[in-house]
């Protein structure tokens, strides 16, 4: 099934009406949101999908092919699932963005503690993955003792671990429902830890000066989205 969601106004309205989505209402904030919606639309949606012919009869229709029944109600439900998944994957106030922002709020404190206790480790090149058992693990060119020290520090922060679990759960749930975009990549429970580096995401989610002025916060959902796309392109295979 191909879906045309090119009308970004309806998606933006859906975001604004969501109780979880808190979108900046300043002119600059709206301009950034519109710009990002247009950028995402080029990759996520089918831009020039032909319109479906208008229905001749305004009554429920059921089509049965190979023992699969398609009705107007099931199609509307599928479209709604795609819309919600798109909001939760890419937009500020969505489940994925919210979970990463929670990690971001704890990240500076964790890194400050590591720098104070193990300054040589803080400056090394390392990453953070979340295992299939939802434990945070340290990756990179370190010995086992160094990885163990860092992993212990990370897993001791309950809020950080809980947010990491939320991120993984919501990401996997919504890419299975959305179309194109991130859903074009093969990411699942088994390979998640090898594809997405949480530390790289957090290191690249800092908003610039203009973003901070418009949104009044340091965490940038725009930078976060860009890093996810870059990691998927680099580490994941396409479906």
Q: How confident is the model at residue 151 (pLDDT cuts 50, 70, 90)?
A: very high
- Cα(185)–Cα(1) distance, integer angstroms: 18
Helices (H), the chain: 8-17, 27-44, 72-90, 95-117, 119-122, 144-155, 158-175, 192-195, 198-203, 209-215, 221-235
Q: How confident is the model at residue 177 (pLDDT cuts 50, 70, 90)?
A: confident
- Cα(98)–Cα(94) distance, integer angstroms: 6
* 207-237 tens-digit pLDDT: 999 999 999 999 999 999 999 999 999 999 9
* 2-26 tens-digit pLDDT: 444 444 444 444 444 444 444 444 5
* 112-129 tens-digit pLDDT: 999 999 888 888 899 999
Whether the pTM exceeds 0.75: the reply is: no
Residue 41: pLDDT over 80: no
Do 174 and 88 form a contact (C-beta atoms < 8 A)? Answer: yes
Q: How far apart are the first and last CA of the chain?
A: 16
Residue 80: pLDDT over 60: yes
Beta bridge partners of 138: 128
Sign of CA dihedral 105, 12, 16, 94: negative
Nearest to 100 by CA among 86, 118, 88, 117: 88
């Amino acid at each position: 099934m191909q879906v045309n969601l090119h009308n970004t106004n309806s998606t933006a309205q859906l975001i604004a009406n969501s109780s979880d989505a808190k979108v900046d209402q300043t002119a600059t904030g709206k301009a950034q949101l519109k710009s990002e919606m247009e950028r995402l639309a080029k990759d996520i949606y089918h831009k020039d999908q032909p319109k479906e012919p208008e229905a001749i009869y305004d009554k429920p229709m059921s089509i049965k092919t190979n023992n699969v029944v398609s009705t107007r109600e099931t199609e509307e439900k599928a479209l709604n699932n795609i819309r919600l998944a798109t909001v939760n994957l890419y937009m500020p106030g969505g489940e994925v963005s919210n979970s990463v922002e929670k990690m971001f709020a704890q990240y500076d404190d964790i890194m400050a503690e590591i720098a104070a206790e193990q300054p040589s480790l803080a400056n090394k090149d390392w990453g953070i993955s979340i295992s299939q058992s939802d434990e945070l693990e340290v990756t990179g060119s370190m010995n086992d003792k160094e990885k163990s020290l860092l992993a212990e520090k990370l897993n001791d922060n309950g809020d950080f671990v809980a947010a990491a679990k939320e991120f993984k759960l919501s990401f996997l749930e919504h890419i299975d429902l959305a179309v194109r975009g991130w859903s074009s990549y093969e990411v699942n429970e088994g390979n998640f830890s090898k594809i997405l580096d949480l530390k790289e995401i957090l290191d690249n989610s800092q908003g610039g000066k203009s973003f901070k002025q418009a949104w009044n916060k340091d965490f940038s959902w725009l930078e976060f989205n860009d890093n996810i796309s870059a990691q998927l392109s680099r580490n994941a295979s396409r479906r």
